[in-house]
Amino acid sequence: GGGSSGAAGPSGDAFKISFANFTEAAPLFRVIHTNLDDVISRGDSGLELKWYDNAGDAAKMSQNAQLMVQDQPDAIVVYPVSAATQGVSQILADGRIPCVSVNLDTEACDFLNIDNRALGEQTAEIIGRAAAERGWNASNTTVLIGQNAASGEQVNDCVRYFYSTIAPILGLEEVDPTTITPTTTTIGANAIQFEGASTLQPSFEAVTNLLPSIPAGNNIILYTVNNDSTTGALRALEDAGRGGDDVLLIGGLGGDETGITALREDPRWVAEGDIFVSWWGAYAAAMAKAVAEGAKPPADVTPLPQIVLDKTTVDEYHAPGSAAVSKLPPLVPDNEFLDQSGVLQYVRGVAGL
């Protein structure tokens, strides 16, 4: 559910944040809400939050923007639906309330985001290495990348740059990543892009249907914009008997339970782009407070914690045997200012805090 989760003290001195989440109907985004509530409940963080649900709907989101401005909180955090950012930007600009935009840029707000491109590239390097060791190359390999057109260009950078990076490693046809668009379906002879809508069933159906286009006996490399999409695709490959340990390599994205468990236990799952999504709420709140208190964030983007894990590094960040985050990467110069707000102090295990 939603509702306000308040600090112990009188709400008069509490720092009020209105927070609009992308949607409450998908696990990936819901943890942002639940985990931040959890952080706040750990003690007097001095934060008081009011939650809104954009429900993935542009119109809903602009309505929420109006309502948040109307709340007159100390700061606003918004996880935008791709299509609404410009219009919402105006509403927020008119509101003159410090605001932070997560994952998708909103002109009127300071931008807090992961580096999708880096994720794609780093994942490609790990998988590329593993594949090369196995002697996979243009003659025997098909790269399967899953996009989500509706979530906008930035998000799909990860798959774009994943291909442009892995292509030279395996000697596949090289293309300019910017030429890979939502309507792209095949890239050269060795890559296929499918529309997975970031969800299970569409990914399953899409991959089931394009199976015949994957030359029989070819090895498969699978990478998509999130682990739901990857899981759906994986089910389809397994169902068709093309999920063998020696013919499939997977790069995950999300660092959720699915990804971490698989990275530990599944020989095919050799890399996981860990973006600590569950903590985005905390980082966003920290940034909102810092900004409201006068901190100067970088002009373009404040980086969120992220790291691409392989089987050796996974236990550094996740307690062995559990998917729970045991450590977060240290703050870097570009986001050091986040510690001033004191919010991250409630997030145990940020290296160096």
If binding is defined by CB under 8 A, does position 178 make contact with other proteins? no
235 part of the interface to other proteins, by CB under 8 A:
yes
**Judged by CB, which is closer to other proteins: 217, or 294?**
217
Q: Which helix (H) or strand (E) holds 69?
A: helix 58-71
Residue 182 makes contact with other proteins by CB under 8 A: yes
Does position 323 bind other proteins by CB under 8 A?
no
What tokens does 308 get?
A: 């691409």
Q: Which one of 131-139, 197-205, 275-283, 319-327 is the stretch in contact with other proteins (CB under 8 A)?
A: 197-205
Number of residues that bind other proteins (CB under 8 A): 67
Q: Which of 4, 11, 179, 322 binds other proteins (CB under 8 A)?
A: 4
Q: Which is nearer to other proteins, 241 or 333 (CB)?
A: 241
Q: How far is the CB of 320 from other proteins (least distance, A)?
A: 21
DSSP 8-state assignment for residue 57 = -
Residue among 278 and 335 whose Cβ is closer to other proteins: 278
- Tell the smallest beta-carbon distance from residue 152 to other proteins (Å): 6
Cα–Cα distance for residue pair 101/103, rounded to 1 Å? 7
Of residues 120, 130, 129, the one with CA closest to residue 245: 130
From the CB of residue 46, how many other CB atoms can be counted at a distance below 10 Å? 17
- 3-state DSSP assignment of residue 270: strand
Q: How near is the Cβ of 16 to other proteins at its closest, in Å?
A: 13
C-alpha pair distances (Å), 118 with each of 121, 192, 281, 349: 5, 21, 21, 24
- Binding piece for other proteins, criterion CB under 8 A, among 88-96, 126-134, 323-331, 332-340: 88-96
Cβ-contact 206, 235 below 8 angstroms: no
**Cα separations in angstroms, 272 against 125, 190, 261, 351:** 12, 22, 10, 20
244: number of Cβ within 10 Å: 12
H-assigned helices in the chain:
27-40, 58-71, 85-95, 116-133, 153-170, 200-210, 227-239, 257-265, 280-292, 314-317
Give the burial class of 293: count Cβ atoms within 10 A of its Cβ; 0-12 exposed, 13-18 middle, 19 or more buried. middle
Among 6, 37, 38, 90, binds other proteins (CB under 8 A): 90
Applying the rule CB under 8 A, the residues between 66 and 85 that interact with other proteins are 66-67, 70-71, 82-85
- Rule CB under 8 A: is residue 231 a binding residue for other proteins? yes
263 binds other proteins (CB under 8 A): no
Please identify which residue in 24, 48, 115, 272 interacts with other proteins, judged by CB under 8 A: 24
> Among candidates 303, 306, 293, which has minimal Cα distance to 334?
303
Q: Which of residues 198-217 bind other proteins (CB under 8 A)?
A: 199-201, 204-206, 208-213
Site residues (vs other proteins, CB under 8 A): 1-4, 23-27, 30, 50-53, 55, 57-60, 62-64, 66-67, 70-71, 82-90, 149-150, 152-153, 181-183, 185-186, 192, 194-195, 199-201, 204-206, 208-213, 228, 231-232, 235, 239-241, 258
